[in-house]
Amino acid sequence: QKEVEQNSGPLSVPEGAIASLNCTYSDRGSQSFFWYRQYSGKSPELIMSIYSNGDKEDGRFTAQLNKASQYVSLLIRDSQPSDSATYLCAVNDQAGTALIFGKGTTLSVSS
Amino acid sequence: GAVVSQHPSRVICKSGTSVKIECRSLDFQATTMFWYRQFPKQSLMLMATSNEGSKATYEQGVEKDKFLINHASLTLSTLTVTSAHPEDSSFYICSARDRTGGDYGYTFGSGTRLTVV
């Protein structure tokens, strides 16, 4: 059974702070890793994808991957109230196969 | 970018009736469509994977006779919930993968909130 684990939160940070979201996965064969943001009642929207060990930065977002530890994280710098949402970690083991999602971490950014 | 149009966005139906949910890829050809279900405060659970022109592959525990999936063309996939019951009330989301794949190869529909009364 392939599993993706996330702390459900809520994670509360003040506006302007760094939010750190973590995810672990069980399948060592996982190849692709994704972070999605989901607002209540809406479908997920892609924030970032990462495939290689190390960091990948895109604007205020940085994804970090450590395949040896089976760990992937997302850092959000200068957090804004509009970042308040549920963040879903997703992985797959082969290009084109279905994504397996974690339960998500709820982030709350207070102004 | 790639867009998947999903309809209806909300539907309320009576117990025992059937509901059809449509997902259309508007500007690309969806060779594969994934159907997910999401209960409140839960994650997206994969229900089935369909490839254009072939039968869908269902995940363990998902009744294929209850959740009928049709992927007859490269731009349209449908999910029909037959003989719906209150426990089928959930948020259903489709996800399509276009031929080019890549980072943005997974495009999600906007979701359908199904309420069975």
Tell me which DSSP letter residue A28 carries: T
For B29-40, how does the pLDDT look when each residue is reduced to its tens digit (9 = 90+)?
Answer: 888 899 999 998
User: In chain B, what percentage of residues exceed pLDDT 70?
Assistant: 92
Residue B98 confidence (pLDDT): 67
Among B46, B93, B111, beta carbon nearest to A98: B46
Structure tokens of A60?
A: 């205020």
Is B99's pLDDT higher than 80? no
- The answer to whether the CB of A106 falls within 8 A of the CB of A12 is no
Instruction: Name the band, by pLDDT with cuts 50, 70 and 90, for residue A74.
Output: very high
Is B94's pLDDT higher than 80? yes
Residues of chain A positioned with their CB less than 8 A from the CB of B47: none
Residue B54 confidence (pLDDT): 84
Residue A90 confidence (pLDDT): 95
Tell me which DSSP letter residue B61 carries: T
Instruction: Name the band, by pLDDT with cuts 50, 70 and 90, for residue B102.
Output: low
Is B101's pLDDT higher than 70? no
| Cα B80 to chain centroid, rounded | 9
Q: A52 touching B, CB under 8 A?
A: no
- The answer to whether the CB of B17 falls within 8 A of the CB of B115 is no
State the best of B106, B112, B114 to mutate against chain A, taking most chain A CBs within 10 Å. B106
Residues of chain B positioned with their CB less than 8 A from the CB of A46: 103-104, 106
Is A109's pLDDT higher than 80? yes
Residue B74 confidence (pLDDT): 87
- φ and ψ at residue B88, rounded to 5 degrees: -85, -5
Tell me which DSSP letter residue A18 carries: P
Q: What is the mean pLDDT of residues A59-81?
A: 97
Structure tokens of A58?
A: 């895109």
Is A94's pLDDT higher than 80? no
Q: What is the mean pLDDT of residues A80-88?
A: 97
Q: What is the mean pLDDT of residues A68-96?
A: 93
Residues of chain A positioned with their CB less than 8 A from the CB of B106: 34, 46, 99
Q: What is the mean pLDDT of residues B63-71?
A: 94
Residues of chain B positioned with their CB less than 8 A from the CB of A101: 36, 43-45
Residue B103 confidence (pLDDT): 55
Q: What is the mean pLDDT of chain B?
A: 91
